[in-house]
């Protein structure tokens, strides 16, 4: 359905009304690639998709304004990209590829309609970039913007779980790590540069191909770094019943993080060890395996920690700095 109300400059979502907004959002979605194997798209009680792989991989995430994003720190289109990216990344971390996504928006009545439409455009564009389609959603009023996303995908080989790491494996990382945390630190101090870090925070660039490639290469366990590298290493260690040691010497601290460290007095390595939101991938591989392109060895897997010892160490010693982000 076409609508003359697309991109109203001043209109709020309440001005458009529920069905006007649904129509405008649907228009935005319809102007991006629909994804493959969609038998019934958005607009009915449910969407229907053909499944060729015999299985589905499903994950869901919620983003809350003021908690996961701030409207004054990121454009709507970037929030849309990020909402899609962090969910696509969860399928990636199983060694799979995203195929279809749903997205719900709860939002204040006085939210500019352009925000909702720009968000949708960013979301749908990020999906289309990996060949995935937006197949459904819901809209409602709320006091703050709350975005809920569910992604459905599939693996070509067996899914790589968090629980498969074994002593003797190597720990490896793929993708930018610490950049988004550096950008967040910059924004939190009221600055807008280094711009490359701010952009990394606003719109992550997860290594989407790296998940399936790692699965193919025999990764034994995998997780995406959304909450902090050491925190995610801890999830792998606990799920696998192993210990993990991270070698800080493996990291080449990128120049922009050095600059932020110098300006703020923070240890730039902290952004790497405790930062999330880049959606880099952390995986373990058998000791002899050749790491796929883009993966860097950053640590080792040992036997289960003795009672009272930490599951994750840094350079062989307990680590008492922050390890990641908590939501309560």
| Alpha-carbon distances, residue 320 vs 52, 274, 310 (angstroms) | 47, 11, 10
274 binds a second copy (CB under 8 A): no
Tell me if 73 sits within 8 A of 87, measured CB to CB.
no
The mark string for 156-195 relative to a second copy (x by CB under 8 A, - otherwise) is ---x-xxx--------------------------------
- How is residue 114 written in tokens? 């352009």
Q: How far is C-alpha 256 from the geometric centre of its chain's CA atoms?
A: 21
- In the window 31-90, what residues touch a second copy (CB under 8 A)? 39-40, 43-51, 53-64, 67-68, 90
Tell me if 279 sits within 8 A of 61, measured CB to CB.
no
Q: Which residues pair with 173 in a beta bridge?
A: 282, 296
The mark string for 213-232 relative to a second copy (x by CB under 8 A, - otherwise) is ---------xxx--------
233 binds a second copy (CB under 8 A): no
By C-beta, is 33 or 64 nearer to a second copy?
64
By C-beta, is 143 or 255 nearer to a second copy?
143
Q: Is the peptide bond before 201 cis (omega within 30 degrees of 0)?
A: no
**CB of 265: closest distance to a second copy in angstroms?**
28
**CB of 267: closest distance to a second copy in angstroms?**
25
- How is residue 102 written in tokens? 């749903």
109 binds a second copy (CB under 8 A): yes
**CB of 32: closest distance to a second copy in angstroms?**
18
**CB of 198: closest distance to a second copy in angstroms?**
23
By C-beta, is 60 or 193 nearer to a second copy?
60
- In the window 288-327, what residues touch a second copy (CB under 8 A)? 326-327
Reading phi first (left if > 0) and then psi (alpha if -120 to 50, else beta), residue 308 is in left
Cα angle, residue 132 at apex, residues 46 and 63 outer, rounded to 5°: 75
3-state secondary structure of 140: strand
Q: How far is C-alpha 199 from the geometric centre of its chain's CA atoms?
A: 15
205 binds a second copy (CB under 8 A): no
Q: Identify the residue among 25, 93, 180, 185 touching a second copy (CB under 8 A).
A: 93
Q: Which stretch binds a second copy (CB under 8 A): 129-137, 172-180, 190-198, 304-312?
A: 129-137
3-state secondary structure of 97: strand
By C-beta, is 41 or 268 nearer to a second copy?
41
Residues that constitute the known binding site for substrate: 68, 277, 325
**CB of 251: closest distance to a second copy in angstroms?**
23
d(CA 274, CA 320): 11
- How is residue 286 written in tokens? 């058998």
13 binds a second copy (CB under 8 A): yes
**CB of 61: closest distance to a second copy in angstroms?**
5
| Alpha-carbon distances, residue 46 vs 22, 290, 324 (angstroms) | 15, 44, 37
């Amino acid at each position: 359905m076409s609508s003359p109300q697309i991109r109203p400059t001043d209109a709020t979502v309440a001005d458009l009304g529920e069905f006007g907004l649904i129509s405008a959002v649907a228009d935005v979605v319809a102007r991006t690639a629909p994804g493959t194997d969609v038998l019934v798209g958005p607009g009915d009680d449910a969407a229907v998709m053909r499944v060729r792989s015999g299985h589905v991989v499903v994950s869901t995430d919620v983003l809350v304004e003021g908690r996961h994003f701030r409207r004054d720190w990121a454009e709507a289109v970037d929030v849309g990209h990020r909402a899609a990216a962090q969910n696509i990344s969860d399928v990636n971390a199983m060694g799979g590829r995203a195929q279809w996504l749903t997205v719900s928006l709860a939002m204040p009545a006085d939210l500019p309609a352009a925000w909702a439409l720009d968000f949708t455009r960013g979301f749908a564009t990020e999906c289309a970039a990996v060949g995935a389609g937006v197949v459904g959603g819901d809209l409602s009023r709320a006091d703050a913007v709350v975005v809920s996303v569910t992604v459905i995908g599939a693996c070509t080989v067996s899914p790589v779980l968090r629980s498969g790491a074994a002593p003797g494996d190597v720990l490896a990382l793929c993708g930018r790590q610490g950049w988004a945390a550096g950008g967040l630190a910059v924004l939190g101090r009221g600055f807008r540069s280094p711009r490359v870090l701010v952009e990394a925070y606003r719109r992550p660039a997860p290594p989407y191909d790296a998940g399936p490639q790692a699965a193919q290469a025999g990764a034994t366990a995998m997780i995406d770094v959304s909450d902090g590298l050491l925190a995610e290493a801890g999830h792998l260690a606990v799920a696998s019943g192993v210990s993990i040691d991270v070698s800080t010497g493996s990291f080449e601290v990128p120049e922009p993080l050095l600059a932020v460290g110098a300006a703020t007095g923070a240890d730039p390595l902290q952004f790497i060890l405790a930062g999330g939101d880049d959606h880099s991938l952390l995986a373990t591989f058998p000791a002899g395996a050749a790491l796929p392109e883009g993966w860097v060895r950053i640590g080792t897997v040992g036997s289960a920690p003795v009672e009272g010892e930490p599951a994750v160490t840094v350079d062989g010693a307990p680590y008492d700095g922050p390890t990641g982000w908590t939501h309560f």
